[in-house]
Structure 1
């Protein structure tokens, strides 16, 4: 996404709104303004919504695996075609393709599960101050106004609030310093999201794509200081464990598990303020360092 002259975003829920144009077909509207590369989380969130609108109402989504095939264009409507792969006794599976100008730009396989009781535990836990106790963005990027401008413009464009318990990878890179392959960020939508589980899940998918891949760049901050990075999500997966409200603060604890061969692999754990693990994420993407000409 080009961040120059991006207008403030409407609500996340409004951005994901779909028009039903067939039993298993939906359309997302184009956005006003100049042509820009679509935010991947928006396409993925709309795909979750499209799949869920064709699944039995008593089966919330529990997992989604996605592939980003081509860049999207914000000025072109996106068509979502859903294939009802299977409806079993307790699970339903849906395949979704997102199409622009006759080309498939994105694909997703999602699974829905009727709620059941079972064994329960979690390893993830909160080990960070709450969002009201951490520095605001102006303090985090106090010595780097360019990074502050980039970050605030991005968040304004997406309609998201963010607070960092520790300086993110970008802040370390601006110092020409390396960092641990981990970053933690508190997130929430700026405007309320409807109470339905499906819309909350679609908006969580939207937010889960934000900043995750950059967790893999921390150990390479110094090496990347004078380079231009080409970064793009290749595939993104999420597992939904417990209901969560995305218009209330939640933590995305992000780990850069591996980088090599111009790719990176990041893992995230999404916890609410009580410390409950609500979702797990994995993302692989292109991270190509290009020396400026």
Structure 2
């Protein structure tokens, strides 16, 4: 994925009929369909069946099977409900007739009501931080395998600036907290639905890593298989994906080869724009 236009084309599905869409795959270097791609594409499919006055406020997805990069994905939308204020959609993603992912999304008209939010943590601003690729340069000689893997899998269309020193975070055991500034590397002239689809794509980066932080030394002893199991996003307020967003992540629990993580996404003004939750598989060949 070399530029923003390629990502937008990836998320923009071909319409087959009123409720069926087909999407292509980002050729992920790890050999399986990227979860963020399916999240963004499924939200795009749902949006195509919803009236323009309704915006997504939540989506909940389950990854059922690993996706095959060589096979396009068919998205089937089930129009469950069209109410006066809320619209509900279910989306099933399939390859070779088998479901690999399903998602439920809810949309709402704009309404006035009471408001509150948690406070954004007071952290170093992105201007004073190196991006993730700059931070890992010292690993080029000390840990070339990890260095090459991060370079290979880093998305060019987004810039990430870790608040905690990335090399230390990945090398030694630490508390399950992770803070990351992120933004698109190009200007995005898009309406809110596409902004949300791009954020859904980006939200799958770094969050599962948070659940591994207390166990880095043990997990690095053998080969560990990581995969998203489920992923939920709540969209609270408008935002722009090409402006810095702070992704604050924590992991309350890891057990039974699963890690659970939560995330809050703030804009530069401290406005909480979205919340994320994910459980992922962390299966080590050395444990069990």
Q: Is the TM-score greater than 0.5? A: yes
Superposed displacement of residue 82, structure 1: 0.4
1:33–1:75 CA contact under 8 A, matched in 2: no
Alignment of 1:1-293 (within 5 A): 8=2, 11=5, 12-30=7-25, 36-145=31-140, 146=144, 147-156=146-155, 159-168=157-166, 171-174=168-171, 177-291=172-286
Superposed displacement of residue 87, structure 1: 0.6
2:27–2:33 CA contact under 8 A, matched in 1: no
Q: What is the SS of the residue equivalent to 2:196? A: helix
1:268–1:280 CA contact under 8 A, matched in 2: yes
In 2: Cα distance, 1:80 partner to 1:138 partner = 34
Superposed displacement of residue 138, structure 1: 4.9
Unaligned ranges ≥5, structure 1: 1-6
2:208–2:260 CA contact under 8 A, matched in 1: yes
In 2: Cα distance, 1:140 partner to 1:236 partner = 28
In 2: Cα distance, 1:218 partner to 1:128 partner = 19
1:265–1:284 CA contact under 8 A, matched in 2: yes
In 2: Cα distance, 1:179 partner to 1:35 partner = 26
Superposed displacement of residue 150, structure 1: 2.3
TM-score (norm 2): 0.91
In 1: Cα distance, 2:251 partner to 2:61 partner = 19
In 2: Cα distance, 1:19 partner to 1:26 partner = 5
CA deviations on 1:217-265 (whole Å, 9 max, x unpaired) are: 1111222231211111000000000111112221111101110111011
Superposed displacement of residue 194, structure 1: 3.7
1:124–1:269 CA contact under 8 A, matched in 2: no
1:141–1:171 CA contact under 8 A, matched in 2: no
CA deviations on 1:252-280 (whole Å, 9 max, x unpaired) are: 11101110111011000001111100000
Superposed displacement of residue 152, structure 1: 2.8
Superposed displacement of residue 35, structure 1: 9.5
2:210–2:249 CA contact under 8 A, matched in 1: yes
1:257–1:265 CA contact under 8 A, matched in 2: yes
1:182–1:254 CA contact under 8 A, matched in 2: yes
Q: What is the SS of the residue equivalent to 1:122? A: coil
2:133–2:151 CA contact under 8 A, matched in 1: no
How many residues are treated as equivalent by the alignment?
282
Q: What is the SS of the residue equivalent to 1:143? A: helix
